[in-house]
Amino acid sequence: MKFGIIVFPGSNCDIDFYHAFKDGFGEDVEYIWHDTESIDEFDCIILPGGFSYGDYLRCGAVAGFSKVMESVRKHAEAGKLLIGVCNGFQILTEMRLLPGALVRNQNLKFICNTVGIKVENNDSPFTNQCEKGQVLNIPIAHGEGNYVADEETLKQLKENGQILFTYAENPNGSLLDIAGICNKKRNVMGMMPHPERACDVLLGNEDGRFILQSIITHLKGEMQNE
């Protein structure tokens, strides 16, 4: 299996993800520059956190128009795994690959802390190594992490089991305490907390490994079934 990390001007969590998969799990992982055209060789694409294109216009708005993103859209439509964390989550909502939007935190301040997130659904490629109801301690660092959506969208997210993570104590005002969601096909996930920053005992936290291990386990299972 092969992981690809999209690098935009302003990305700053790409290296974290690289080392989490490469050093933490020994997986094959490469950086993908934002003007790359073909990403067919990759099984899982990651849109990392940071400030893509300086977060001009809106967070993630400009990144959605990068050359590589048409290939990313096709990758997702083909049923392959696509993950967006923090700024990556914002990009996914801007591209309408995930519903809703991320707006300014309720307190209008940038929040950098470690928070508890509850696993709401462990029947997904991103949570299969977690227990339902398990609380993971995962870092957050965002100014626009307040998840909003209309009532019908929120209803569908609940009914379809698309809410993967909720905040144990809501730090930013997100509706339904949402910290992470997936699409209906369960191959695209967006979350504001940073699991890649919680994957090493040297960092004092390995809870993020549950999420990355879930992804690896899912991909290995797919390969065995081919």
pLDDT (tens place) for every residue of the chain, 226 residues total: 999 999 999 999 999 999 999 999 999 999 999 999 999 999 999 999 999 999 888 899 999 999 999 999 999 999 999 999 999 999 999 999 999 999 999 999 999 999 999 999 999 999 999 999 999 999 999 999 999 999 999 999 999 999 999 999 999 999 999 999 999 999 999 999 999 999 999 889 999 999 999 999 999 988 777 6
Residue 196 neighbours by CB under 8 Å, 6+ apart: 13, 16, 17, 20, 48, 85, 208, 212
Q: Which two tokens stand for residue 110?
A: 């940038």
The residue annotated as part of the active site, out of 27, 94, 182, 194, is: 194
13 is catalytic: no
The residue annotated as part of the active site, out of 44, 86, 130, 182, is: 86
The residue annotated as part of the active site, out of 44, 144, 196, 218, is: 196
86 is catalytic: yes
CA atoms within 13 A on the CB side of 52: 29
75 is catalytic: no
Fold of 2-225: Rossmann fold (3.40.50)
